[in-house]
Amino acid sequence: MRNHQLFYSVAILLSLNFFSSCKKNFDTDNAVDGYSLQENEKHLEKAEHTIAIADASFNFLPSSTTNQIVKHDYFTLSYNEKYEQAEWVAYELKKSYLINNSFKRPFFIEDPSVKTRSADWRNYKKSGFDKGHLCPAGDMEFSRNAYNDTFFTSNISPQLHSFNDGVWNKLEQKVRYWAEKYDGIYVVTGGVLEPSLKTIGREKVSVPKYFYKVLLDKSDGKYKMIAFLVPNEASDKPLYDFVVSVDRIEKLTGVDFFPELEDKLESQLEKSSDYKSWSFN
């Protein structure tokens, strides 16, 4: 085992012990959105945050073409100032995260962690495009803070409503289905950013012609990978019609996905567009 993996394994154990000790006094009768209304709330949030950091011990993040990596508690992004959006957003979607809460949707705000400033939401106003989430708010309903973070403008991209509310929403729901079925998966999402794209707003936010999702699962010690490349338009096609190899998306984006995987395994997984090992039922 590599030294850094051993280090983070110990960190996880320590974090879990801390979380357990905090939880002893957790009053479930007074719990709201997974947090206590009593004084233990601060301790629980600190424990959750520590565990989230420890869980990132194995680096599943893609490479960045911009070197502007922004880490939030439950997702990480690579911001591309030229196109005024993230080139990718990456996160782990655990089975335990799949909780439906009726959180009030917050306002979209600029991401204070983006040094070059993320685009203002007003660029989307009367543009004819939705403020399409890259990391869906529905994937982060286990925590109010995690949910609210998805409304940073660094996490949105212009999407046609018929796409956002149609095939893209269908794919997001399928990702949640797989996260439950396979006890958690790793997700990377973004638009294909390229020159000469249509732009909207004063800050010229680019409108991708295609969006992608790359998923990695490790069940029973075995890895499998699948990628989708979906045009930013309405479609009634089945989701498997949009399956492509990860290699293809890497060529389109210049991003290296899951570079920390062993080279031979990474090459094998990324060249395949076989979706038979993923349940589409």
Active-site positions?
Answer: 133
Q: How far apart are CA 245 and CA 238, in angstroms?
A: 17
Phi/psi region, residue 117 (left: phi>0; alpha: psi -120 to 50; beta: rest), is left
Query: Contact 179/95 with Cβ under 8 angstroms?
Result: yes
- Give the span between the Cα atoms of 241 and 171, in whole angstroms: 12
Q: What single-letter amino acid sits at 222?
A: K
**Other Cβ atoms closer than 10 A to 40:** 19
d(C-alpha 107, C-alpha 245), whole Å: 36
**Residue 37 and residue 112 in contact, taking contact as beta carbons nearer than 8 Å:** no
Nearest residue to 280 via CA among 182, 188, 177: 177
Task: Copy the structure tokens of residue 190.
Answer: 């973004």
3-state secondary structure 92-152: EECHHHCCCCCCCCCCCECCCCCCCCCCCHHHHCCCCCEEEECCCHHHHCCCHHHHHHCCE
